[in-house]
């Protein structure tokens, strides 16, 4: 009797221990979610994707950016701690081909849900139009001032062969071999498409809250579409059709508005323009009646300011929104600031 009681007690203790361990496991307590509060832990590779994940996920996600606020995302390097965080997250949202360190980390340490937004972004091949030149491309086409409408640009971009280009410069060690222009988020219409994709993928990762994710994505899609319509409407009457930027981050925005972007530097924001390039920019400014050279928050504006002073024109900020530099302004707010700056500089009535 005593022996039987001991056996029963041991079995009961084992069952209680198993139950306690099961209750503490992520799969039992949160349906597979790794966060302590039961939300999905989502890693976003840089700010615009963090914005999408937060807006679509709402209260059901905890989002962290792999690129710190105020940091340049092009040449991101990931610490072992950040790679570990990525591996243990529920999902990652990234743009394949943009950040080599993230691509490598996703390939080797991917969480269960991987959301690559590039299919929805409809990326454009570098060198395919004057608004998306390569780093070393002859700039004669970009200087012509001829532009195509956003709809025509979207059509023309389909079917381009993805040719690789070596954008590594002798003055620094950063490696840029992008064959596609990554800056899709500067076209709100492309951001809207990405929002829908993120919503669908989060719904698959967390079926319990699928309807919420899809509803949030639809609402965000509509907001971004409206923002894009506002961009087109306000730039439709621009008297000046060319705008000069610190680097060629604004090709998608230029496509959407029918304007022509001319970058002092190429896709790599850290590349230095040659004296010949600066002379070319000066000629464009005079020929096209450009009144403003646009600088960026994350790039030292010395070159742009000096050039503007030499040409007797102004400078203003056009933010590529590659990182959040002001916590009080989200993606939509900064895009509205960009619209205002562009319409003022280009004399849009």
Q: Indicate the CATH number of 31-122+188-226 among 2.40.100.10, 3.30.70.1110, 3.40.640.10, 3.40.50.1980.
A: 3.40.50.1980
| Domain assignments of the chain as residue spans, ordered by start | 31-122+188-226, 127-156+236-345
pLDDT per residue as tens, the chain (349 positions): 444 444 444 444 444 444 343 333 333 333 456 667 789 999 999 999 999 999 999 999 999 999 999 999 998 999 999 999 999 999 999 999 999 999 999 999 999 999 999 999 999 999 867 899 876 543 333 333 333 333 333 433 333 333 333 333 333 333 445 789 999 999 999 999 999 999 999 999 999 999 999 999 999 999 999 999 999 999 999 999 999 999 999 999 999 999 999 999 988 888 889 999 999 999 999 999 999 999 998 899 999 999 999 999 999 999 999 999 999 999 999 999 999 999 999 999 8
Is residue 170 exposed (0-12), middle (13-18) or buried (19+ Cβ within 10 Å)?
A: exposed
> CA-CA distance, 188 to 221, in Å (whole number)?
9
CATH code for the part of the protein at 127-156+236-345: 3.40.50.1980
**Maximum pairwise Cα distance, the chain:** 103
* 96 DSSP 8-state letter: T
| Equal fold, 31-122+188-226 vs 127-156+236-345 | yes
Report the candidate in 57, 99, 65, 70 with the shortest Cα–Cα distance to residue 85.
65
Global pTM reads: 0.80
What are residue 91's phi and psi, to 5 degrees?
-155, 155
What's the token pair of residue 200? 């669908």
What are residue 45's phi and psi, to 5 degrees?
-75, -30
């Amino acid at each position: 009797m005593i022996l039987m009681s001991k056996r029963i007690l041991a079995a009961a203790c084992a069952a209680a221990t198993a139950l306690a361990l099961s209750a503490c496991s992520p799969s039992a307590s949160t349906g597979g979610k790794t966060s302590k509060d039961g939300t999905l832990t989502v890693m976003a590779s840089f700010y615009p994707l963090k914005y999408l994940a937060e807006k679509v996920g709402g209260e059901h996600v905890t989002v962290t950016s792999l690129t710190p606020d105020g940091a340049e995302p092009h040449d991101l390097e990931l610490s072992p701690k950040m790679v570990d965080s990525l591996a243990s997250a529920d999902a990652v949202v990234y743009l394949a081909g943009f950040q080599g360190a993230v691509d490598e980390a996703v390939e080797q340490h991917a969480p269960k849900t991987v959301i690559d937004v590039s299919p929805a972004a409809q990326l454009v091949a570098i060198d395919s139009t004057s608004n998306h030149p390569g780093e070393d491309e002859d700039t004669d086409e970009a200087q012509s001032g001829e532009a195509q409408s956003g709809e025509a640009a979207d059509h023309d971009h389909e079917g381009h062969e993805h040719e690789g280009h070596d954008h590594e410069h002798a003055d620094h060690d950063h490696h840029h071999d992008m064959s596609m222009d990554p800056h899709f988020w500067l076209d709100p219409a492309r951001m809207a498409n990405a929002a829908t994709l993120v919503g669908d993928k989060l719904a698959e990762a967390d079926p319990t809250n699928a309807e919420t994710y899809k509803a949030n994505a639809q609402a965000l899609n509509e907001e971004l579409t409206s923002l894009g319509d506002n961009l087109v409407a306000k730039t439709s009457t621009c008297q000046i059709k060319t705008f000069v930027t610190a680097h060629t981050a604004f090709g998608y925005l230029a496509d959407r508005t029918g304007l022509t972007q001319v970058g002092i530097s190429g896709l790599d924001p850290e590349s230095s323009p040659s004296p010949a390039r600066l002379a070319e920019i000066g000629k464009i400014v005079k020929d096209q009646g450009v009144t403003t050279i646009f600088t960026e928050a994350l790039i030292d504006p010395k070159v742009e300011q000096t050039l503007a002073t030499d040409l007797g024109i102004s400078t203003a900020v056009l933010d590529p929104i590659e990182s959040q530099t002001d916590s009080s302004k989200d993606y939509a707010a900064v895009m509205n600031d960009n619209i205002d700056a562009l319409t003022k500089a280009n004399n849009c009535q």
